Structure 1
Amino acid sequence: MSVVTLTKESHKNPAPFRIKYEDARAVLGPNIKLPTNESLPVLETSSKIAIIGAGFGGIATAVKSINDLKETDIAIFEKHDNFGGTWYANTYPGCASDIPALWYSLSFQLNSNWTRIQPPQYEMEEYILEVVKKHDLRKYAHFKRTVTKLEYNDKAANWTIYMRDLINGQLIKHTAKIVASCQGGLVNPHHYTAKGLEDFQGVYMHSAIWNHNIPLEGKRIAVIGNGCSANQLIPNLLSNYNPKSIIQIVRSKHYVMPPIPKILLYLYRLFSFSYIGLLFVRLFVTVVAEAKYPLFKGNSWFARFVRWIHCKQSLRYMYSSSPKKYHDILIPDYKIGCKRMIYDYQYLPSLYDDRITLTNDEVDHITKDSIVFKNGKEVKVDIIVACTGYDVNKSFQNYEMIGQNGADAGKVWIKDGGSAYQTILVKDCPNLFFIAGPNSATGHSSVVMAIENGCTYFSKLAAKILAGEYKSIVVKSEKYDQWYKDCQTELQNSVFGTAFGGCVSWYGDGKVNSTAYPYSQLHFWYEMNHPRYDDLVLEASDAKTQ
């Protein structure tokens, strides 16, 4: 448990703290082509623990493996060329943490000098790289490698990970006793599609694949969407890039909350002198956020009361901070929390700028230099930016998973929707752990906290495998099925993108919610710290059976 202090080098020169546009487009773009080169020999490697992904999840799992499990025979595989995950790849102007960074950071490595409560992307990446440096993780990392398949060997009780080198197309086969999948959900951009987009002669880009070489000054920009990314992007464009005009095409409504009070920043700075002080402020934020949980669940008088308070707070702010002419486009009519609430980044006040126009008209098609709406209106544009979020289900289904006796876990997910027992384990897949896996996200909490909770569960089970106490550990099929049923039933009584909530959101596809956790973060912490071993198949090691 220690504290880091950033040099703020990223503020002077952000470029080294973000992915190159060409590299991002190659693995995140709309037309990804995986390089293959069968003329090269197959590269075969191995480790006891293999970690897929080098974002917060991969970093936390690696540190847990080294410090708690005392295991250094680990390998980290990442498709980008650096640590950071979405905080390395997602670099649009204004990109920042949407919750307080003193909570959206690792509890064992707190930072003493965040510049803001919600710091910018490059500062978040600088923090991540400082943690990597402090724990000497780079020597375990293998970059520019993308996983295509996991296959379990029943006899050897290990996994073979099939990968491609993204530089030369070489096939890599890596065997590991334990695999931790830490790729996260906000990975694959949900690309905008419209008739005629392929004929557009201006610049199209998704907010998650930002090209910093494109000049924006004096340009006519169209922004598709109005979620958190657009909320951060638009005021930054208006303040720092001087566009000629912005037309924002609003596709849905969101509850926008007032900015996080500045008093939290003052409190943070007051207590930033020590790890204990920082931990105290972090605990304070956690308690305040956890108190919001009732608004997401059920229809009891208390849930309705908490929901009413937050709804009233949001609507009061939205009505008072945005132009009256846009209220019909902006103000939601569903239950608050159905979509993730947005803490404002000066987006609503920026709508008073004469250069921006909001519309909720539906797009009909796109020409070489304009957007044409179904009502016949045509708007000339030079740049189209899609703030259309991520395909979360694709992130959970981007490689094959062949488990015990040839069971195809990926097909089960495609058929029934992504799921993992307690968000961690998949049936027929021994010794495979998902960190920030299906149903691990909460609408009121920090995903980094959820990651650390998942790592606790991982370490408790992995320790028994590494010690030779058990050859393999896998969830019982009936317990996996029961979790799936209970989880989806609970979520039907939650506001997360359900009929109860009254909206459609990225939390679920209307049939299956593979994103949201159905209970509180306190409940998740307890479950991760107290594994239910009766729900698991514990295969005795060869040594114990002799």
Structure 2
Amino acid sequence: MPTQRQIRVAIVGGGISGIAQAVRLQEALGHDRVALTIYERSDELGGVWRDSKWAGAAVDVPSHLYCLYSHLNAGFSSHWAGRDEVLGYWKRIVQRHRLGQHFVYEVEFVGSRWDPLRQSHTITFRRNHNGEQFDVEADILISATGALNRPITPNVPGRADFKGLQWHSSRWRTDVDLKGKRIAIVGNGSSGIQVIPHIADLEGIEIVQFVRSPGFFRPKHNYQYSTFQRFVFRYVPFALRLYRWKIFYDYDYTILSRGAGTWASDLRAKLTQGVIDYMRKTMPSEYHDVLIPDYPMHCKRVAYDGGWLASLHKPNVSLTASPITRVTENGLATKDGQEYDFDIIVWATGFEVTETGVGLNQNVFGEDGRELREIWKAADGAYGYQGIAPPAVPNYFIVLGPNAIAQNWGWTLGHNTELIARIIRGMYDRALSSVVVKPAIMDSYNAFLNQRLQQTSLASPECGSSWYKDPETGKLVAPAPWGAIELWTYTRKIRWEHWLCRRWEPSPDAAERKAVVVPVQTPRTWTPWGLFMDWLALRVRARLVRLMTEVKDGREKGEGRVKGGEVKTPTLITPEEYLA
């Protein structure tokens, strides 16, 4: 009896993306058909949730939407779970699926090279403790390094001269007592605004926050789930799934307001007014001009306020928008001539996303020996297919690739890991040795995607820079233009015609065999249920596209108000054209 084929998969990254991907592969292929290894640069799993130790670290996506739909957790204590609960949830998944034995810790990815003759990747890693490099061979390479893997600390003159303590918020020093200290919090993104309410009441502490730009800050009204609610979630059939679906729907509805069409613009105007009213009511009036933006909502990430705006009323908390010009021995100097003395500087300045946060690309070599980073640079920024597949590198998938974020981090990684697992299972069933998206499909898909992006507030010129964009070219490389439901209509079926597929040619001599291109067709649907779902997906997609992009006569694109005259909806590359 012939030996069963086993696909060798190397997953780089042991955070929640890597864990979710390993789970999906086990579900799709079982234990016998896949040999997976997870390579993690730290000495512990968990990724960003392992590292996020600042006071008040918590999800900014509701707990029940942040988990995998196949691994719901009735035990979450609150609507917005804290760091320890989230990390505990993912550690239990590792234990449940016995993934611990598949981890290799304290190794750093160095590079990979695709071998078209062997139809495999040779991947180089470096051991952290001694710098020794070693190679592994894998049929499939998956980048699960996550979007928040490289902290950014601004290159401000004089940083090395500061005599006090300083650290990035993602590398929080839990061994330092903050009582009685003067602290600078540099940044007003998600981590910067989370920490302040949780340390502002410490004895003798003084906080000065330095903000670079205004933003939209929604209220984050957290609440505890009662014992009865958790009982219902656990024991009443479908209760938790229905509750999660309600959260999912609310989020996806909000995503529609990114659109530049009339209906979407009106929805965005309504949501914008609600957020601004909340901000004006909650924070001190002297900060209104500093923090309330004049750009459209969604063109930068909307953050959630869990008490930060209210904490600005405290006498020991202040805020300045004057740019930092240098770091002194004792603190920070700003453009308005002020100098501040501090004991501690916390750089809550976010992460590099557009270069490393959309997938491993440096020293990743694909077909014809081309490096992925250079391919992306030549195109003015990262790009891929359906948020999971980069160009010209066979058998390489990215959990959160270019333009992957369709609704939120948690849902997207769950969706994408399931999609990747389905493709790999399809490779197994069809005895394929490699797949890569066809160049023509890659080009038409990205023309379609970029045209849709231009019809959203994400592309608003008033926005300036953001981590959504390539810092050099301004190209949008992180978010998708659509929500989760519309994405589902594109990915519910694997379009095998979009992939260049290869299969080993039969040969009595294994050394002489070659991988040849084979045509693979998407299976047709014939069942009543399948035909109904095909019909439903097309109708839902058309409806969502129309809501986001259609501009009514007499309305100006993206403004959401009457301007006079006729403005027609710009011609789009339709989904049907791209899918053809």
Q: Which one of the candidate residues 1, 4, 10 is aligned to 1:50?
A: 10
> Normalising by structure 1, what TM-score?
0.87
* Aligned ranges 1:457-472 → 2 under 5 Å: 457-467=419-429, 469-472=431-434
1:173-228: CA deviation from partner (whole Å, max 9, x where unpaired): 11111111111111101112211111011111110111111221111001111111
| Conserved 8 A contact 2:156-2:327 | yes
| Conserved 8 A contact 2:74-2:240 | yes
Which residue does 1:435 correspond to in 2?
A: 399
Sequence identity of aligned pairs in percent? 26
1:116-169: CA deviation from partner (whole Å, max 9, x where unpaired): 211111221111111111111001111111111011110110111100011222
| Conserved 8 A contact 2:256-2:482 | no
| Conserved 8 A contact 1:97-1:119 | yes
| Conserved 8 A contact 1:334-1:503 | no
Amino acid across the alignment from 1:419: Y
In 2, the alpha carbon distance for the partners of 1:329 and 1:463 equals 52
Q: Which one of the candidate residues 406, 409, 421 is aligned to 1:447?
A: 409
1:360-386: CA deviation from partner (whole Å, max 9, x where unpaired): 112222210021112211111111111
Amino acid across the alignment from 1:49: V
In 2, the alpha carbon distance for the partners of 1:79 and 1:414 equals 26
* Aligned ranges 1:146-185 → 2 under 5 Å: 146-185=108-147
1:424 counterpart = 2:388: yes
Amino acid across the alignment from 1:482: S
Q: Secondary structure at the match of 1:430?
A: coil
Amino acid across the alignment from 1:380: D
Which residue does 2:506 correspond to in 1?
A: 543
* Aligned ranges 1:5-404 → 2 under 5 Å: 48-70=8-30, 71-239=33-201, 241-260=202-221, 262=223, 269=230, 271-274=232-235, 276-298=238-260, 300-395=261-356, 396-397=359-360, 399-404=362-367
Q: Which runs of 5+ in 2 are unaligned?
A: 1-5, 508-514, 517-580
Flag the 1:179–1:243 CA change in 2: closer, same or farther, 3 A: farther
| Conserved 8 A contact 1:83-1:128 | no
C-alpha displacement of 1:271: 3.3
In 2, the alpha carbon distance for the partners of 1:501 and 1:278 equals 41
Flag the 1:403–1:85 CA change in 2: closer, same or farther, 3 A: same
- May I ask how many residue pairs the two structures share in their alignment? 496
| Conserved 8 A contact 2:362-2:371 | no
Q: Secondary structure at the match of 1:60?
A: helix
Q: Secondary structure at the match of 2:139?
A: strand
Q: Secondary structure at the match of 2:171?
A: coil
In 1, the alpha carbon distance for the partners of 2:463 and 2:23 equals 41
Amino acid across the alignment from 2:382: G
Larger radius of gyration: 2
Amino acid across the alignment from 1:325: E
Amino acid across the alignment from 2:302: M
> Normalising by structure 2, what TM-score?
0.82
| Conserved 8 A contact 2:326-2:332 | yes
In 2, the alpha carbon distance for the partners of 1:303 and 1:276 equals 32
Q: Secondary structure at the match of 2:433?
A: strand
Name the stretch that deviates more: 363-372 or 486-495: 486-495
Question: How much is the aligned-residue C-alpha RMSD, in angstroms?
Answer: 2.1
Name the stretch that deviates more: 129-138 or 50-59: 50-59
| Conserved 8 A contact 1:207-1:386 | yes
Q: Secondary structure at the match of 2:170?
A: coil
C-alpha displacement of 1:115: 2.0
In 1, the alpha carbon distance for the partners of 2:482 and 2:225 equals 27
In 2, the alpha carbon distance for the partners of 1:93 and 1:431 equals 41
Q: Secondary structure at the match of 1:174?
A: strand
In 1, the alpha carbon distance for the partners of 2:498 and 2:221 equals 42
Which residue does 1:520 correspond to in 2?
A: 483
In 1, the alpha carbon distance for the partners of 2:44 and 2:231 equals 33
1:342-397: CA deviation from partner (whole Å, max 9, x where unpaired): 22111111111100111111222221002111221111111111111110123235
Greater than 6 Å deviation, 4+ residue runs: 263-267
Amino acid across the alignment from 2:341: K
| Conserved 8 A contact 1:159-1:176 | yes
Name the stretch that deviates more: 264-273 or 337-346: 264-273
In 2, the alpha carbon distance for the partners of 1:365 and 1:447 equals 34
Flag the 1:502–1:410 CA change in 2: closer, same or farther, 3 A: closer
Which residue does 1:8 correspond to in 2?
A: none
In 2, the alpha carbon distance for the partners of 1:528 and 1:448 equals 17
In 1, the alpha carbon distance for the partners of 2:203 and 2:452 equals 47
Which residue does 1:27 correspond to in 2?
A: none
